[in-house]
Structure formats: structure tokens, C-alpha cells
Structure 1
Amino acid sequence: MDRARTGSTIVAAILAVIVIFLFGYLLWSDAPPNRSELTVDPPIEVIEPDLPLEIIRSAEQELPDSDAIREREAAEFVDQLAGADDSTIIVNEYQDMFVRPDSIIALPELEQRTTTLKSLMDDKSLSADTPLTLRYTEEIREQTTLQQLETEEEDHIAPITIVTEQGETITAPLVELLQREDIDQSAPVTQIREQQQIKQIKASELADADIAEDQQMSVTISRGVQKLDIADLIDSDSADMQDSLFYLHRVTEEDIQGLWGIIQTGLIRNFRQGIRLQRNGTEQKVSVLIPADADEPLPDGLSSFLGLILHKKVSTSYVYNFNTHTMGHDPNLIHPGQELILIRFSAEELKDIYQFFAEQRSNDSQTFAIGR
């Protein structure tokens, strides 16, 4: 009896709990929402993009590679290697240059003479304004000591000439003089040096040139100007010439290596000197170094890149004698003070030279050869 009553009580309790839960659920579900909602009127329309999409890359991804940079630099370098000035271009000795095929050049008519300062001053054919270039060797005497020379001179093997306090003139390597016990290293001596001098003056300035009257010298006298049209000299009006530049060089006594050395030196100097370009508001120098031995063949028989170019240019050079007004092509016959060398380069050849040595520089390469 008690067990039946207890069971009924438990069932009633369970039912009561269920009823309470149901009642609570109904109350909670009817309550207003406690979160905020946003109603957009009119509703937003989602538009699908048209394909294909453009991919936007970063600035770093847009940078050109090194080959493209060198190619652009080469084009700019060659484009400005010859000036765009339409005026007459004066071609002096020791002033090589590149010119365009339509250029007008002016060659000062030069007379070469070996003489003395006094003879020049007595020459009645020279007007006061006649330009002169004087080349001579000057003897320079300086007071010093062997001790001081040991510190100042880098080369102790090369012979030097000194005059001791006793008047003895000695020519010997510095290292030998320093070992001599009969010469006081701290005693005064006179060092005698020979120095090459070049002066460009007018005839009226000879008296004030501070040169001994009996000084032997080589003199270049300018007797006027001869104008030449490149197009007339070498028929540069032809179509294949219009994309060319001409390297000009007046032959001097220093051109002992012939045409090969003239062209090589001209390329090295002009490419090293470079040009200046405006980039992003700043001036930047564009140049390239051509090694002095870049024309040498390698022991394994490979021909150098520059050597092939020089060989071709020597065999196709123009040699104009402005004294006889004749054009020649013999690279073995050049006369100092009389001739003008003209070497034709296409724009592509000059670009190739620039890019080749610019690439060698960037690769830090030690070889400048290509297969034969």
C-alpha cells in the first residue's frame, strides 16, 4: 500500500517538472528578440564581375630584368654618343669624337715644325693671333734628400738623377743610392727630372711664355680652317649609312700602334667617359669600362670579342689626307699631322659593345673572349 502511494507521488512529481519546462519554453519563445536587425530598402544587388579580371601586380613585380636595363642604357648611350648640335664640329688633335653622317666638320690646317722659341719669335709669317701648340721637354730641378725621396717615391727601382753637394751627378735606382755609404741620406741633393710640357698659346704670347729662347720644341701652327662634309667624303647619304656613327681621329706622332691602337684607345676612352642622362629628376652618368687587354686573344685560341671588331674596322677604315685632299684605305700608311681617320660603326655594333662589357662587369667575369 505504501509502495503504491510512493510510486504515484514520483510520477506526479515528474509530470509536474515536465509541465513547468513546457510552460517556460512557451514563455521564452514568445518573447521579443534581443538582437538588432538592419533592414535595407531597397535591397542590395550583388553584381557578378565580368571575366577575365585584370591582375594588379606590385611595383616590385614590374621591375625590368638586368638584360632589359642594359639594352635600354645601350640605346640611350649610343643615341647621345654623337652630339645633336647642327653647328660645325671642330676636330683638333687629341680630341677624338663620334659624329653623325650628316655632320659638317672643320679641320684646322696645321703646320708641324721642330724649332726653338727664338726662331718662332723671329718668324714674320706668324700673325699675332696665330694659334700655336708647343711641345717640349723641360728639365726640372728640385732640392730634396735621399731620406725624403725614400718616403715620397713609390718606385725605388726606376733610375733617378741627382746632383750631390759636391757637384757629382749620379743616375741610378733609388734603392742603390740608399745603400751607398758615401752619400749622407739626410744631406741636401738636387733631383733632376724631365717633364713633357704642352702649351697652347698665340704667337703674340711667345715672349711671355717663360721658356728659354734656345729650348728645342715641336710646334703645331694653325694656318686656318678646312671645312668638310662627311656625306661628301664617304657618300654617307646612302641608306645603309644613315644609321651609323663615325669615329674621327687626327693622326699624331703618338699613334705608334697604328689604326688598331687608334680605334681601341678611342673606344676605351669614349665608353669610359660616358654620357649624362636625366632620370627621375636627377642626372646620372651612363658609362662602361672596356679593359685595356680586352682585344688580346686567349691562350686556348679563342678570339676576343673586341679583337674581332677591331680587325673588321681596321680593314674597312677611311684615311683622309687633308693636305692632298685624297681618300685612302691602307691602314699601314698613316701620316701624322696630315690625315684624318674615319671609322664607321652601325648603331647596333655600338650597342653590342656596350651591352657586352656591361654584362661582363655585372658578372665580374675575367674573360672577354668568344669562340672563333
Structure 2
Amino acid sequence: MSGSWGKNYRVTIYGESHGTGVGIIIDGLPGGIEFPYEYINKELYRRKPGKNRFTTGRQEEDNFKVLSGIFEGYTTGTPINLFIENKDKRSRDYSEIKNKMRPGHADYSGYQKYFGYNDYRGGGHFSGRLTAALVMAGAFARKILENMDIHIISHIAQIGDIKDNIFSQEEINDEIFLRLKDHENQFPIINEDIKEAMMSEIIKAKEDNDSVGGVIESLVLNVKPGVGNPFFNSVESSISSMLFSIPAVKGVEFGEGFGFAHMRGSQSNDEMRVVDNKIITLTNNNGGVTGGITNGMPIVFRTAIKPTPSIGKEQLTADISKMENTVLNITGRHDPCIIPRALPVIDNATAIAILDLVLERIKEDEGFKAFKRRD
């Protein structure tokens, strides 16, 4: 029953939606790294609730505190503890769900996992509220990566049936790169012409007391070839492992993903060339990863986000205290579409996984050079 992840950039998440707060402990970094307070605040603002009509009405300031591991603006080399207090809690909204299990939520599975002792208010430890903790650790990792010239950009690839262009079909020029990297851009897409249609899809679901899901596509630039492992802790499995820690994620595909099922080898293989004394591939169907290891091309993947399970419609469920069938009307404040707020979570969760892999490669490089010196 561990809440820890990582080998080199290790994180331990804690807290509940309606508890005192949520937080994360970061371990594995040496002393002397500048701590990016403002950068973390900007990333937290991107996922902050209550900013517009597309998000939950819960009003949380999400001002974080450093409880340990940072002194005079730099890492000390000891574990870093970052914490956000929960302030806008309305636990009374959840009194009915103590025994009535919410469809699509982890109420019943969590009840079984923790023998009925789980905090059910707002989903407790299973809540998307804890993604604020992931964002803190991820933003720190992302800033470290950017100092290495490794960049992560994402866009809303799909809302309901409304689809944006995808990276494999679109040249990522400076204008698109800067627009998708902009902290102030709350609805990042490639094709601006479809923005109103996507927003309309969310509003229609909200007006129908329903919710809608979608897809986020991400791109990781400038990761050198040779990062990752061939079987366990491959690039795909490491990123996917971190992404599936996000409550709403139900699918991840790299490069062409499930599209490979419709292709022949002559179509799917990424042919290789030497350009400016550098190995590149003419296509990037494999999404920058072959054999679980980066090949120097951009890492491309898409993440499927399910519709928010808390909806205003009456639903069939079970009362576990009476062991009888019943109906449930969910109250409270919920997102009609989680995609805009999930996007910064995807970005920063990806940064945790990428930094963990990059730090491993740095150790491998140092070990190789040390042995070479002994020849």
C-alpha cells in the first residue's frame, strides 16, 4: 500500500480531498539546485479549480508551502516536502455517498481495499485533488529538464467528437511551440478554428447535467538517444506508469499506437538517414522510442481522459450498508470536462517520469566514463 514512485527522482504523495491538505515528498536530488517557486506557482494555476465555466466551482488558492528540504532558495540534498492546505471544503455534499457507491468512482474498490476505513469525502485519497501534489513535484522536474533544453508541450487533441490536428501531421514551428508552452493559455490547441466547437461541446454536456471526455497529446523534445531500458522501466512503461496514477486516465498510446494494427511493416517502419552528422528517422511512427529506449526523435504520446464520473443525472447504484439496490443523485461541485485542468497534470507527471529516466542515464554515462578511465 505504497504511495511512492521513482528510482532516481523519487516522489511520495499524501493527503485527501477533504483532509487537512495534500502534499508530496521529493527525494533523490543533490544539494544546490535552485528551487523554482514562481514556476511551480504558474503550473499550479494552470490546474487550479474555479477559474472559468468549464471547471468545478471549488475555490482553492493552491498556495503551497515548503515544509523541508529547501534553504535560502536551494535544495539541501535532504527530502523536500511540499504541502497545500485544503480550505474550500464542503464535506456535507458527500454524506450520502458513505454507503451509496458512486458509479465510475473508486468508492467501492477503495472500500474493499482499505476494509471500510477509507476517507470517502470527495473521493479521499483517490480524488483528482491530489494531482495538485503531482503538479508541484512535476513542475520542479520540468524546470530542471528545461535547464537541460528538454521541453514538454501538450495540446487538447480531442473533446468528445471534436478533434484537433495532431503533432505527427503538423510541423511544430516556433509560433505553435510558444503558444502551447504559454502558462496563461488555458485551452491550448493547434488549430484555433475549432476552439469554439470544443468549448460548445463542454457547455452542452454541462447543461445536460452530464460530462465529456477527450484526449491530450504530448510531445517531449530534445531527449538524447539511449535513455530508457529494453524491458522493465522502458520509456513507454515509465511514462505510462506515472500517467496512470492520474485518476481520470484510461488509455495511453505512443506514436501511431493502435494505428499500427492497420499498417504493414513497410508503412510503420521509421526509415533512417544521416543528416548533418546526426541520425534521424524520416517518420516518427514509433513516437521517439524503439526497444523501450529513446532514439533521438521527439517522444509523442496521447492520453485518453474519461468523462468526469460525478454528474447531475440520477444513476443506479448499490447501498453497501443495506446490501440493496438504490438510486443516487450526486451533489457537490464538479468539472463538466476535466481535460483543460488535466493537461498541466499530464505535462508535469510526464516531467517526473522523464527526469527519473534522464538521471538514470546520467549515472550510466558517469559509470561508463569511470570504467573507461581504468582501461
TM superposition score normalised by structure 2:
0.23
More strand as a share of residues: 1
Greater Rg by CA: 1
Q: Which one has more relative contact order, counting CA pairs under 8 Å at least 6 apart?
A: 2
TM superposition score normalised by structure 1:
0.23
